[in-house]
Amino acid sequence: MAIVCFLEAGCASTGLILPEGPSRPFVDYQGRFNQATDPCQRVRTMQVAMRVNAESRQTTFRGEVLGALSRPASLRLVGVAPFGLPGFILVAKLDDAAVLVLPREKRVVTATAVEDLLSMVVGVSLSTEDLLAVLTGCVVPAPEPQQAKIYENGWIGVTVDPESTVYLQTVDNVPVIVAGRRPGLTAWYSDHVRGLPRRIDLRARDGSGRTSSLAVTLSQLSVNIDLQPEVFSAETPDDYVYMTLEEFQSEGETLGNNGLLVPPQ
């Protein structure tokens, strides 16, 4: 039993590090922070194609995903196949259970929290609001600068909540967010276009110390377009079998090797 995704060459970037060592307080950060975060804080909706490489304890994923996200807390992700039915359809809406549709298996897996389904598919546990913030470079949904320090490499680390920091760098004379750290997750950003990153590298660690990585390359990006409510719903035929995430996992099911998701070694 498996979700289907299709292999491609390449893997997540390696050698990504955050600045450490000597630093000093940086007082004049507010203007740079506002300029760097303005593009991501303006994003209300996003429609995008994503080339994804994910490695976790549960699975290794390589393939293309079409995504739509909208504030507050609406999400649609579709695992694209070169032929036939999609590998998966993941939808979530505010106050509704998250749903993972497996068209090739004629199954529907439901979960109270979208974080649980995202973790199973790509190894990173994030809410819809958090996923939108991470993909657009804001790191957290509503970053509020509190203090900053500058490192020897010129990066400016701005504390945006008691447990999260964004890192700014000037690229082509424009300050942009190049990395961020939040509980259990570190992000690196590159290939910015009009202030929004097109490449995101994530490293996650869960409460048990298990690690996962996720590299996402964005294309066909449209922001602040109207997305109808039905985008975030999934219609399923009558012969599909519904089960909870717990039932799916209790049967020993994994998102294993059926072309799109590759089981870990």
In a domain, 18, yes or no: no
Range of the domain at 238: 23-247
**Region 157-184: what's the mean pLDDT?**
94
Q: For residues 50 and 118, give the distance between their C-alpha atoms in angstroms, rounded to a whole number.
A: 15
Phi, psi for 153 (deg, rounded to 5): -80, 0
Residue 169 has pLDDT above 80, yes or no: yes
- What pLDDT score does 12 carry? 36
In a domain, 102, yes or no: yes
Q: Provide the 8-state DSSP code for 96.
A: S
Residue 152 has pLDDT above 80, yes or no: yes
- What pLDDT score does 253 carry? 54
Q: Looking at the chain, how many residues does it have?
A: 265
Predicted TM-score (pTM) of this structure: 0.87
Residue 81 has pLDDT above 60, yes or no: yes
Decide: 68 and 43 in contact? Cβ < 8 Å: no
252 vs 237, residue with greater confidence = 237
Number of domains the chain contains: 1
- What pLDDT score does 252 carry? 57
Of 252, 255, 224, nearest to 71 by C-alpha is 224
In a domain, 8, yes or no: no
Mapping DSSP to helix (H, G, I), strand (E, B) and coil, where does residue 116 land? helix
In a domain, 6, yes or no: no
Cis before 143 (ω within 30): no
- What pLDDT score does 56 carry? 75
- What pLDDT score does 255 carry? 56
Which of these ranges, 75-79, 156-160, 247-251, has the smallest mean pLDDT?
247-251
**Region 88-106: what's the mean pLDDT?**
89
- What pLDDT score does 9 carry? 29
In a domain, 55, yes or no: yes
In a domain, 183, yes or no: yes
pLDDT exceeding 90 applies to what percent of the chain? Answer: 61
In a domain, 32, yes or no: yes
- What pLDDT score does 258 carry? 39
Within 10 Å of residue 210's Cβ, how many Cβ atoms? 12
Sign of CA dihedral 135, 5, 123, 68: positive
Decide: 178 and 167 in contact? Cβ < 8 Å: yes
Decide: 147 and 157 in contact? Cβ < 8 Å: no
pLDDT band at 59 (very low <50, low <70, confident <90, very high): low
- Residue 261 φ/ψ region, left for φ over 0, alpha for ψ in the -120 to 50 degree band, beta for the rest: beta
CA distances from 40 to 6, 203, 223 (A): 30, 20, 10
**Region 36-44: what's the mean pLDDT?**
96
- What pLDDT score does 203 carry? 93
How confident is the prediction for the chain on average, in pLDDT? 86
Looking up residue 148, the CATH number of its domain turns out to be 2.50.20.10
Q: Count Cα atoms within 13 angstroms, Cβ side, for 106.
A: 5
In a domain, 2, yes or no: no
Decide: 63 and 260 in contact? Cβ < 8 Å: yes
